[in-house]
Amino acid sequence: MTQTPAPFPERPAADRPDYLQRLNPEQRAAIETTDGPLLVLAGAGTGKTRVLTTRFAHILLSGRARPYQILAVTFTNKAAREMRERIGALLGEPVEGLWLGTFHALCARMLRRHAEYVGLGSGFTILDTDDQLRLLKQVIEPLRIDTKRWPPQGILGVIQRWKDRGLTPERVTPAEDCDFAGGQCRPIYATYQARLVQLNACDFGDLMLHVTEILRTRPDVLAQYHRLFRYILVDEYQDTNTIQYLWLRLLAQREGQPANICCVGDDDQSIYSWRGAEVENILRFERDFPGAAVVRLERNYRSTAQILGAASGLIAHNDGRLGKTLRPGREDASGEKVRVASVWDSDDEARLVGEEVERLRAGGHSLAEIAILVRAGFQTRAFEERLITLGLPYRVVGGLRFYERSEIRDAMAYMRVLNQPADDLAFERIINVPRRGIGAAAMQKFHVAAREGQMPLAAAVMDLIARGALKGRAREQMTALMACLARGREALPREGHVVVVETLLEESGYIDMWKADTSPEAPGRLDNLKELVRALADFESLGGFLEHVALVMENEENAGAERLSIMTLHGAKGLEFDTVFLPGWEEGVFPSQRTLDEGGLKGLEEERRLAYVGITRARHRAVISHAASRRIYGNWQSAIPSRFIEELPAEHVTTTGGAAQARSRTFGHAPLSSTAFPVMARRPRVTDVGEKGPTAAMAVGTRVFHQKFGYGTISSVEGNRLEVAFEKAGPKRVLDTFVEKIP
Partner DNA sequence: TTATTTCAATTTTTT
Partner DNA sequence: ATTGAAATAA
What is the distance between the alpha carbons of residues 313 and 688, in angstroms, rounded to a whole number? 42
Type and span of the H or E element at 723: strand 721-726
Listed in sequence order, the residues at least 6 apart from 697 whose beta carbon sits closer than 8 Å to its beta carbon are none
With beta carbons less than 8 A apart as the criterion, state whether 613 and 580 touch: no
104 belongs to the binding site for DNA (CB under 7 A): yes
Q: Which of residues 195-234 bind DNA (CB under 7 A)?
A: 204
Shortest CA distance to 254 belongs to which of 281, 225, 282, 234?
Answer: 225
Closer residue to DNA, CB minimum distance, 212 or 568: 568
Q: Is 194 annotated as a binding residue?
A: no
Whether 235 is a known active-site residue: answer yes
Options 27, 33, 48, 369, the catalytic residue: 48
Would the annotation count 47 as a binding residue?
yes
Structural contact between residues 86 and 49, judged by C-beta atoms closer than 8 angstroms: yes
Residue (of 529, 548, 532) closest to 540 by Cα position: 548
Among 568, 579, 655, 656, binds DNA (CB under 7 A): 568
- For residues 107 and 370, which CB has a smaller minimum distance to DNA in the complex? 107
Give the 3-state secondary structure of residue 735.
strand
Q: Which of 177, 235, 369, 606 is catalytic?
A: 235
Torsion angle, alpha carbons of 241, 245, 247, 250, to 10: -160
Indicate which single residue of 359, 534, 594, 602 sits in contact with DNA (rule: CB under 7 A): 594
Is residue 180 at the binding interface for DNA, with CB under 7 A as the rule?
A: no
Residues 6 or more apart whose CB falls under 8 angstroms from that of 673 comprise none
- Residues of this chain, 353-392, that bind DNA according to CB under 7 A: 375-378
131, 206, 213, 236: the catalytic one is: 236
48 is in an annotated binding site: yes
Is 42 annotated as belonging to a binding site?
yes
The backbone region for 288, taken as left when phi is positive above 0, alpha when psi lies in -120 to 50, beta otherwise, is alpha
The torsion region of residue 596 among left (phi > 0), alpha (psi -120 to 50) and beta comes to: alpha
d(CA 617, CA 307) in angstroms, rounded, equals: 9
Does the protein bind DNA through residue 602 (CB under 7 A)?
Answer: no
Cβ-Cβ contacts under 8 Å for 190 (sequence gap 6 or more): 169
Is residue 31 within 8 A of residue 58, CB to CB? The reply is: yes
CB 584 within 8 A of CB 627: yes
Is residue 48 part of the annotated active site? The answer reads yes
HEC-encoded secondary structure of 286-308: HHHCCCCEEEEECEECCCCHHHH
Residue 163 appears among annotated catalytic residues: no
Distances (CA, A) of 91 to 51, 52, 230: 15, 14, 19
- For the bound state, the minimum distance from the C-beta of residue 393 to DNA, rounded and expressed in Å, comes to 21
Phi/psi at 373 (nearest 5 deg)?
-110, 115
**Nearest CB to DNA, comparing residues 104 and 165:** 104
**Least distance in Å: CB of 293 to DNA?**
29
Binding flags for DNA, 468-497, as an x/- string (CB under 7 A): ------x-----------------------
Q: Of the candidates 5, 88, 187, 571, which one interacts with DNA according to CB under 7 A?
A: 571
Question: Annotated catalytic residue: which of 28, 324, 386, 617?
Answer: 617
Q: Which stretch binds DNA (CB under 7 A): 101-109, 309-317, 451-459, 541-549?
A: 101-109
Rounded distance between C-alpha atoms, residue 431 and residue 428, angstroms: 5
Piece in contact with DNA (CB under 7 A), picked from 45-53, 55-63, 562-570, 665-673: 562-570
Binding mask 253-292 for DNA (x = CB under 7 A): ---------------------xx-----------------
Given 75, 189, 247, 581, the residue binding DNA (CB under 7 A): 75
Minimum distance from residue 207 beta carbon to DNA (Å): 7
Q: Assign 201 to helix, strand or coil.
A: strand
Among residues 333, 362, 440, 697, the one that binds DNA under rule CB under 7 A? 440
What are the φ and ψ backbone dihedral angles of 502, each rounded to 5 degrees? -55, -50
Q: Is 44 annotated as a binding residue?
A: yes
For DNA, which stretch binds (CB under 7 A), given 63-71, 74-82, 461-469, 665-673?
Answer: 74-82
702 is in an annotated binding site: no
Q: Which stretch binds DNA (CB under 7 A): 419-427, 567-575, 682-690, 726-734?
A: 567-575
398 binds DNA (CB under 7 A): yes
| 125 to 164: interface string for DNA, x by CB under 7 A | ----x-----------------xx--xx------------
DSSP string, 325-381: --EESS-----PPEEEEEESSHHHHHHHHHHHHHHHHHTT--GGGEEEEESSGGGHH
CB of 442 to DNA, least distance (A): 4
**Strand, helix or coil for residue 11:** coil
Q: Is 467 in the site for DNA (CB under 7 A)?
A: no
617 is catalytic: yes
Is residue 236 flagged as an active site residue? yes
Catalytic residues: 48-49, 235-236, 269, 617
Positions at the binding site: 42-49
Q: List residues near DNA by CB under 7 A.
A: 75-78, 102-105, 129, 147-148, 151-152, 204, 274-275, 375-378, 398, 432, 435, 437-443, 474, 551-554, 567-568, 570-571, 592, 594-595, 598, 633-634
Positions at the binding site for ATP: 42-49
